[in-house]
Amino acid sequence: MKSMSQSPLIVAIDGPAASGKSTVARKVAAALGLVFVNSGAMYRAFTWWVLENGIDPGDTAAVLGLLKSTGFECGEEDGTGTIAVGGVRMTRNELAASAVNAGVSLIAAIPEVRERLVAEQRRYASSRGVVMEGRDIGSVVFPDTTHKFYIDASPEVREARRRAEGIVDSIAQRDRIDSSRKASPLVIPDDAMVIDSSELGIDEVVGSVLERIRSSAE
């Protein structure tokens, strides 16, 4: 593909919680030989660290104090981006804990937290091709990439998906905070391809994304 041999290919996939974007992004990355990066996991990891340090996610001053003294290390394992916060790699269960679900939108609304993590995300993609998913990847982190996707699904379908995973998650509340915050709210980038996954299987969504990337790189 043309752009693979030039600067690293960046595919941005945004969408609300439980829209299926992580699964889609992981499969697209595998198909293209790129690294899959879940940027939500970075916000979750820092939220876990805030809680681990006994700080209330609503106490912005204390969160900022901790942010200053915290190091982030991004790496790669089996084609997936990893992050250590304060030298600690959290497990999948820790990142999906209900206390993290409840606090992460508050943490992600703090501009200084976003600045730090966006800098890490850009640095990461400067040396390798990525499929990165999140809320602001096409709008803020990589506004210049030509490969932007927005994966949506109805609130009912998204709630049902989380329940089926056995995860306690206040999707509606996170949607509200993520979409209404001042700093980089969840938006559909103007030039993104929008796919509603409510009635589609994952492979159909992945197929549409790959077809679009391949046709625009020809």
Interface ranges with ligand DC (CB under 6 A) = 17, 39-40, 43-44, 104-105, 108, 134-137, 174, 178
Whether residue 133 contacts residue 37, with contact meaning beta carbons closer than 8 Å, is answered with: yes
The strands making up 72-77's β-sheet, listed across from edge to edge, are 72-77, 80-85, 35-38, 130-134, 10-14, 147-152, 193-196
**40 vs 57 by CB, closer to ligand DC:** 40
- CA dist list (Å): 178 to 15, 61, 119, 134, 187: 10, 20, 20, 11, 9
- Minimum Å gap between C-beta 178 and ligand DC is 5
Minimum CB–partner distance for residue 4 and ligand DC (Å): 24
Nearest-approach distance from CB 127 to ligand DC, in angstroms:
20
The widest CA-to-CA distance across the chain, in whole angstroms, is 52
Give the residue with the Cβ less far from ligand DC, 183 or 217.
183
> By C-beta, is 15 or 55 nearer to ligand DC?
15
In the complex, what is the shortest distance from the CB of residue 176 to ligand DC, in angstroms, rounded to a whole number?
A: 10
Structural tokens at position 72: 């982030």
Contact between residue 167 and residue 96 where contact means Cβ atoms under 8 Å apart: yes
CA-to-CA distance for 41 and 89, rounded, in angstroms?
11
| Nearer to ligand DC (CB atom), residue 113 or residue 217 | 113
Q: Which is nearer to ligand DC, 57 or 134 (CB)?
A: 134
Q: In Å, how far are 101, 129, 142 from 119, measured between CA atoms? A: 23, 16, 11
Smallest gap from residue 160 Cβ to ligand DC (A): 16
| Cβ closest to ligand DC, residue 55 vs residue 57 | 57
Shortest distance (Å) from residue 5 CB to ligand DC: 28
Fill in the DSSP letter of residue 2.
G
Question: What's the token pair of residue 143?
Answer: 């506004």
Residue 147's DSSP bridge partners are 11
